[in-house]
Structure 1
Amino acid sequence: MRKHFLKTGMVAIATMALLQSCKKDGNTNTNGGGNNNGGTGGGSTVITPPNNPDIAATQGFFLDGWQAKAFSTPVGYKTVAKPVAGTVVATVDLSKVITKVSKNLFGNNTNPFMGQYVDQPVLMQQLTDLSPNILRFPGGSLSDIYFWNGSNKAPDDAPDQLLNNTGASSAAGYWYGNNTADWTFTLDNYYKVLQQTNSTGLITVNYGYARYGTSDNPVETAAKLAADWVRYDNGRTKYWEIGNENYGNWEAGYRINPAANKDGQPAVLSGALYGLHFKIFADAMRKAAAEVGNVGIKIGMVTTEADEKDNTSTIIQAWNADAMTTSGSSPDFYVVHNYYTPYMQNSSPEVILGTPAGVTSNMMNWVKNSLQKAGLQQKPVALDEWNIFSTGSKQMVSNVAGVHAVMVLGELIKNQYSMASRWDLANAWDNGNDHGLFSNKSDEPGAPAWNARPAFYYMYFFQKYFGDRMVTSEVTGSPDILSYGSSFESGDAGVVLVNRSNLDRAVTVNLKNFAAGTKYYYYTLNGGTDNAPFSRKVYVNGIGPDGDSGGPATYKTIAANSAAISGGIIVTVPARGTVFLVAEGK
């Protein structure tokens, strides 16, 4: 985390929340202002105004249009008794702003194998409530075999068979944007979902076609297909990216048959070749965008999330170094993917919940270092696929996956990522080895169609209870408790507390440089006793699902817990659970 320095004259541009608090007291001294025990220290306390750090280069234009956020007191809340304070203390300093919070970090991936779900009211309402803000489409690896303007037939120069990494051939299995069958999802319905959920699009164009296409110039042919999509889009989409995980040997176009290729491409892709092709695509797409008046189009380039030498069997070596050198300044942002946990291992909760901090930080440092070595300017970094790879115990659909999601969101903000999209809205049950945030129709035993998994509830309450700026936060007394602090323009303070252990812990929240009001409000989320330790259920303030998995259908109307700030802010953070808390400002 880089250190921020208070600039000359910064007091003049302190947040409105602080100015309003000062006006109420007549000066910057407040009685019980919050330098210890949540604002119960007594006496007169001088409040240090917050700093106002610049937007990081890793965030850039993704924070254009950033809006301040006001906290609204819950319509319904109930007064609860405070637990006895223990030794664990989370200290949140409202004067030390790390960054503004990008609304584009709460995104998700939709895909063409969910069905024509725009006509599914239960799912659409939940998706609107979740407010992902970003919805990526069409994939995933199928982006590289996706023809946006086709119905059921690929172009004549797209071969019926494609090669895998060993050179064996199999049916291409292309997907089409105009296929209206009920098992797939049309491009036009994607645009409808964006409109109905007030979301922004992120479109991944087919780069693989530039490799396996058999026309005289497959790169220009594939770039034209992408540019034609930009024209059809007609200004509706700002964010685009070229290809998906093309550094991997699992991706269409990784290996081609040189005998069928007519522009001299090698059998196996390289980072340098992708970088050259990227510029051809980007130039064609930007020209098309200008033709339809979409002058703000931004195009992302595929990069690896860690040193390729760490995975020599499946990753193209020197991908970042070579692709960045040949693409030069052409990319507007850089794209990474990460599934955090060891691949296809039956990982424990301790392993899963131990990954977010280190993996998120290391990934950002890798991209930064790659750009520095290439002599290129830092630009925004987007994590547009993330989840866990753990299998065998229904980890992906569990409460633990929800806690992991909270930690990833907190670390993404702390490390100043520009945008993120979790994978994915719906997938396939596969005995619980399912990345889907929702069940795919009714394929999950004991669950209704489009049932929301635990991660949905954790992500919903995170966005509701996290402010517009992240501030510094640290925990003493336990390595298993993590805190993510925030401030609201309305003068309120927020903190998200995570418990990675298997024991409940009482946590005292100490808000520094905060003009404390009267009450604090919070929601407690935790799993059940089923399928221990990977409960398929989540309880919100003690209220759980009606069925065998997910959470309460009444999540929007459940009363918040509340207590007086006077005497200290103290809450119980349940085992492998989370507390989302906001304290009123004056």
Structure 2
Amino acid sequence: MRGTRLRVAAAATLALLGSALAQTSASVPAEAATTTSSTVNVTVNADEGLGTIPTTGYGLNSAVWDSSMNSASTQSLLQSANIGMLRYPGGSYGDIYNWQDNTAPGGYVAPGTDFDSFMGTVKKIGAQPILIANYGTGTPAEAAAWVQYANVTKGYGDKYWEIGNEVYGDGYYGSDWEANDRTDKSPTQYANDILAYSAAMKAVDPTIKIGAVLTLPGNWPDGVLASGDTSDWNHTVLSIAGSAIDFVIVHWYPSGTGASTALTEPAQLPGELQQLRDEIDKYEGARASSVGIAMTEMNSGVDEDTQPDALFAADSYFTALEQGVFTVDWWDTHNGPGTISTAPDGATDYDDWGVLSSGTCVGSTCEPAFNTPFPTYYALQMLSDVGRPGDLMVNAGTDQPLVAAHAVRQANGDLAVELVNKDPNNAYTVNLNYANYIPSTATPTVYTYGDEASSITSASTGTAASQTIAPYSIETVVLTPAANQFGSLSAPGTPSVSNITGTTATVSWGASTGGQVIRYEIENQDGTTSDRLAESTSNSVTLQNLVPNTIYTLNVLATDQSGKLSEPSDPVTFSTTSPPSSTCAVDYQITDSWGNGFIASVTLTDTGPSAIDGWSLTFTFPDTTETENGGWNATWTESGQFVEATSQSWNAQLAANGGNSQNIGFVGANTGAYRSPTAISLNGTVCTTTYSS
């Protein structure tokens, strides 16, 4: 929401001031005093695959009010950053923009920003477009005509089409920044309109992909009900329009205050995206795995033109892509300055949400010369030093919250490890450890983007076992492999899971190619440690002795005749069900939620043959972003993510064989995801559990 309001203001700034005003280069203050801190241990498991980097993964927004969006210098900079997806016509402008005459009533459209000019930039830099069909002031017929022009008349082959931008911000829930001419602005109306837009657009080109606007769990207006509604935005849209949706659209502007808070927020993404995937799975059924997630706007909104936002970007892009998001599109290319402030490292922040300077001024304070890259640009540029489309992301873990780590197995066998030091004052010695990868003794190549630097540098330095990372910097360590550790087999096809019970599940996958497969190994990710669950000589296996109410993330690897493993398959995540039988039963129900809080009602029943006099109910929250914040009908205590509720004197008795039930509950608080606990136990016994929300 904050980003949207600033983007509208920035449009006027760029339109009125342009790049012709006097331009000065802002001086960069000296770096804060540096001291070497304790060591950090980073472990990379090269056999725990997190999926391949999509061709559309490294994305960026462009906007029709930006007169330089298609300039040769801008194109050159985007090409150098290997931008793989460009979004058009620009945020909230998507709901007022008429592609046919390049106008946006109520907003400014710069010359030279029409659709064909935009597509010229897309083709020049080798990217793909993602286009916002006008929902707010447009019609299905207008959107279909755009598909006709783009893919039939011009033959552009534009694949990805969003239906509107941040539609929930049209006043229906109170906040009103998004244009919507409809009388009915409810999620029900939007969902029904998705069906109409999809039908009209796919009648022209059935190969296109239609995206619907959703919100990330834990982010407004998730969980909010307007008057008369029985379900929130996401659940309503998915339940009605699920059959017409090829991907869902979310925007992410964390709400934290200050750089130190913003730099912790990428850790929220795995839980939020998994909860979103759970919602998709609930409504999409068998086709759920084919429904993609696109994060078409992202920015921390904190110290936007300085090092903290670059560190946020470096961490957030890979965090989102590792969770299966197929594009992350940073807001914005050029945006224009706002309120001037000073970042923690002393650098001037212009409150400009672009990766490139607009060269404009606020009073007597001017940005650097037009198209000067801000630190966020270099963060995006370094993504390609870590991995290119088709390279395999693998699991990396760190024991220091101020140092993030991500890793990629590159196509040539090299292993790249991205390290992000979020500490403004301290350097760290990083001890690098590897599972299922043997680096050579050659000195690694290290790419570095230092605090407020004007370029990315590279050097051969350190060892495969140890690197030093400076304060507020991004480093990418590229290691070559020792010889003879890789086989010729391809990664097995993406696994699917069926026939899930409390203790068993059937896993199937596509065959590995490139040689003779001796066997397949099915491994479960446990941090950066892999647990082998089974082996198979066929393309399917039924796993036994699984733990009820437990989340599993599996990779399949193929073994060749020499005993060498293939790369891991893409991961698949599933949850086992409650135990088929137990001596207790629990119903866990979310009765209300409002974005940063929720209410849980828990009903417990003794289904065993013996009565219970005094009980303890225990569970563990799946995410660090949720806490128990006080409850009723029990004594509630919490330690980390572990929660315990103990009986009161008046409700301690549970009759045998379901003779009675006790209801308890609590108020939860969340700063992101608030997934329900998987296993709930009564007096140490895992109960048969049902969930509802």
Q: Which runs of 5+ in 2 are unaligned?
A: 1-34, 171-175, 341-349, 483-693
Going from structure 1 to structure 2, the CA distance change for 1:374 and 1:132 (only over 3 Å counts) comes to same
Q: 1:433 aligns with which of 333, 351, 354?
A: 351
Instruction: Work out the number of aligned pairs and report it.
Output: 418
Q: Distance in 1 between matches of 2:37 and 2:470?
A: 14
Q: Deviations over 1:108-133 (max 9, x none)?
A: 00111110543x33322111101111
Distance in 2 (CA, whole Å) between partners of 1:397 and 1:312 is: 36
Change (3 A) 1:356 1:578: same
3-state secondary structure, aligned to 1:385: strand
Q: Any idea what the Cα deviations from partners look like across 1:135-175, whole Å, max 9, x if unmatched? A: 010020111000000255x8xxxxxxxxxxxxxxxxx5156
Structure 2 residue 477 is matched with structure 1 residue 561: no
Residue 300 of structure 1 corresponds to which residue in structure 2?
211
Distance 1:487 1:233, change over 3 A: same
The equivalent of 1:337 in structure 2 is 251
Instruction: Determine the structure 2 residue equivalent to 1:519.
Output: 443
Q: How does 1:264-279 map to 2 (within 5 A)?
A: 267-279=183-195
The 2-side partners of 1:324 and 1:86 are apart by: 48
Corresponding residue SS for 2:166: coil
The answer to whether the Cα contact below 8 Å between 1:520 and 1:569 also exists between their aligned partners in 2 is: no
Cα distance, 1:311 vs. partner?
Answer: 5.7
Q: Structure 1: which 5+ residue stretches go unaligned?
A: 1-82, 155-171, 211-218, 257-266, 290-294, 528-537, 540-550
Q: What value does the CA root-mean-square deviation take over the aligned residues? A: 2.7
1:319 aligns with 2:229: no
Shift of 1:226: 4.5
Compute the displacement of 1:361 (Å): 1.8
> 2:307 — aligned with what?
399
After TM superposition, give the deviation of residue 470 of structure 1 in Å: 1.3
The separation in 1 between residues aligned to 2:419 and 2:356, in whole angstroms, is 25
Deviation at 1:327, TM superposition (A): 1.0
d(CA) in 2 for partners of 1:389, 1:85 = 29
Contact kept in structure 1, 2:356 and 2:371, CA below 8 Å: yes
Does the alignment pair 1:585 with 2:585?
A: no
1:224 shift after superposition? 4.5
One-letter code of the match for 1:561? A
Deviation, 1:242, is 0.8
| 1:374 CA drift (Å) | 3.1
Residue 113 of structure 2 corresponds to which residue in structure 1? 185
Aligned amino acid, residue 99 of structure 2: W
Matched, 1:389 2:307: no
Tell me the TM-score normalised to structure 2 length. Answer: 0.57
Structure 2 counterpart of 1:286, which letter? K
Amino acid at match of 1:173: G
Alpha-carbon distance between aligned partners in 2 of 1:341 and 1:233, rounded to the nearest angstrom: 42
CA distance 1:270–1:446, change in 2 (3 Å): closer
| Structure 1 Cα separation of the partners of residues 222 and 55 of structure 2 | 34
1:88 maps to which of 40, 43, 49: 40
Look up the match of 1:465. 386
1:298 & 1:441 partners in 2: Cα distance? 37
1-side partners of 2:378 and 2:180: how far apart? 38
SS at match of 2:65: coil
Q: Structure 1 residue aligned with 2:74, among 123, 134, 141?
A: 123
* Deviation at residue 370 of structure 1 after TM alignment: 2.3
- Given that residues 238 and 283 in structure 2 are in contact (C-alpha distance below 8 angstroms), is that contact kept between their aligned partners in structure 1? yes
Contact 1:508 1:569 (8 Å CA) reproduced: yes
Where 1:108 maps in the other structure, the secondary structure is strand
Residue number in structure 2 paired with 1:368: 277
Q: For residues 353 and 471 of structure 1, what CA distance do their matches in structure 2 show?
A: 22
Residue matched to 1:194: 122
Per-residue CA distance 1:390-437 (angstroms, 9 max, x = gap): 3xxxx0111110000011012112212121111110111113111101
Instruction: Give the stretch that moved more between structures: 347-356 or 227-236.
Output: 227-236
Q: Secondary structure at the match of 1:516?
A: coil
- Find out whether 1:140 has 2:91 as its counterpart: yes
Q: Deviations over 1:47-75 (max 9, x none)?
A: xxxxxxxxxxxxxxxxxxxxxxxxxxxxx
Change (3 A) 1:204 1:446: closer
Return closer, same or farther for 1:199/1:224 CA change in 2, 3 Å cut-off: closer
CA distance change for structure 1 residues 173 and 85 in 2, over 3 Å: closer, same or farther?
A: closer
Greater helix fraction, Structure 1 or Structure 2: 1
SS at match of 1:519: coil
One-letter amino acid of the counterpart of residue 460, structure 2: S
The one-character-per-residue Cα deviations of 1:14-70 (angstroms, maximum 9, x if unpaired) are xxxxxxxxxxxxxxxxxxxxxxxxxxxxxxxxxxxxxxxxxxxxxxxxxxxxxxxxx
TM-score, with length taken from structure 1? 0.66
Equivalent AA in structure 1 for residue 165 of structure 2: N
CA distance in 2, matches of 1:190, 1:563: 42
Give 1:123's aligned amino acid: T
Is the contact made by 1:206 and 1:226 (CA closer than 8 Å) also made in structure 2?
A: no
Deviation string for 1:490-539 (max 9, x for gaps)? Answer: 12111011122231111111223223222201022222xxxxxxxxxx22
* Number of the residue aligned with 2:427: 504
Q: CA deviation at 1:279?
A: 1.1
Give the Cα separation in 2 of the matches to 1:84 and 1:353.
20
Q: 1:121 to 1:228 in 2, by over 3 A?
A: closer
1:112 to 1:401, Cα distance in 2 relative to 1, 3 A: same
The CA deviation string for residues 261-304 of structure 1, in whole angstroms up to 9 with x for no partner, is xxxxxx34111111111111111111112xxxxx5311111111
Aligned-pair CA distance for 1:569: 2.6
User: Residue 429 of structure 1: SS of its match in structure 2?
Assistant: coil
Q: Which has the larger radius of gyration?
A: 2
Asked whether the 8 Å contact 1:227–1:284 carries over to 2, the reply is: no
